[in-house]
Amino acid sequence: MFYGEYVWLNIIFLILGYLIGSFNLAIIITKLRGNDIRKIGSQNPGATNALRNFGIKFAALVFAFDIFKAFLATIIAFLIKKYLRNLEYIFPMLAGLGAVIGHVFPIYFKFKGGKGVACFFGIMLAYNFLLFLIFVAIYVILVFSTKYVSLASSISCGIIPYLGLIYIFYAGTIFGYMQQNVVYPAHVIILILASLIIVVKHIPNFKRIFKHTEPKIFSKTKKHKNIDS
């Protein structure tokens, strides 16, 4: 396989991830029920806004789906890479990056989507399970210590990719199978790009934090009609 073919296959992975990531369950379900989560609360079609306005069950469903779609896109790309003799210049994590971009700018919903945090959970799960657990721990600690989901998301997503530079996290072990025969540090760079998108999307949240107008995780809001009913 020539380098030009590597480029095209990587582009296909990115597009595949984008198309999968563009599916947004929160938007689909709320629109089917006569609402649009993008017009409610923070207007963000993600798990936090779903929690504040529709309850924990719906929020958990949204969060799980967003994790799954990014994980699925990455795993599909990984399996294709394995089928093509595990070539080192093919990067499955590009599909994960595509999923994050698709979630933030979904082609099916006029490019108005979420902030990509749950999708980042999904690609971290695919990238390295041990690093994923560290990521979850950092995220949870920050959520409960700051009470700001936006701040916890930005800090944890901004920090965790750089830990991927440590050998145990980029070596192709049973926990980091995604790194098998991938030129170093390509996947780490892809994770950094994904994290930068998330941090930039949270800039309005940072401004509200400085103004003390950003709602905290357990802030009470007027609940809309229960999605589960």
**How confident is the model over 173-215, as pLDDT tens digits?**
778 888 888 888 999 999 999 999 999 999 999 999 998 888 8
CA distances from 58 to 46, 48, 160 (A): 10, 10, 27
Residue 93 predicted with pLDDT over 80? yes
CA distances from 2 to 10, 14, 181, 228 (A): 13, 19, 17, 51
**How confident is the model over 107-142, as pLDDT tens digits?**
999 999 999 999 999 999 999 999 999 999 999 999
Residue 6 predicted with pLDDT over 90? no
Give residue 116's pLDDT. 94
Residue 67 predicted with pLDDT over 70? yes
What mean pLDDT is reported for the chain? 89
Residue 14 predicted with pLDDT over 90? yes
Mean pLDDT, range 70-97, rounded to an integer: 90
Confidence of residue 86 (pLDDT cuts 50, 70, 90): low
pTM given for the model = 0.90
Residue 3 predicted with pLDDT over 70? no
Distance separating alpha carbons of residues 127 and 121, to the nearest angstrom: 10
Residue 4 predicted with pLDDT over 80? no
Mean pLDDT, range 6-27, rounded to an integer: 94
DSSP-assigned letter for residue 33: T
CB 65 within 8 A of CB 119: no
Confidence of residue 228 (pLDDT cuts 50, 70, 90): very low
Mean pLDDT, range 53-78, rounded to an integer: 95
Residue 222 predicted with pLDDT over 90? no
Cα 203–chain centre separation: 17
Q: Which tokens hold the place of 79?
A: 């399996």
- Look-up of token digits 């049973």: 174
Q: Which tokens hold the place of 200?
A: 């930039």
Under 8 Å CB-to-CB from 97, ≥6 apart: which residues? 14, 17, 123, 190, 193, 194
Query: Which ranges in 84-165 belong to alpha helices (H)?
Result: 93-104, 117-127, 129-146, 149-163
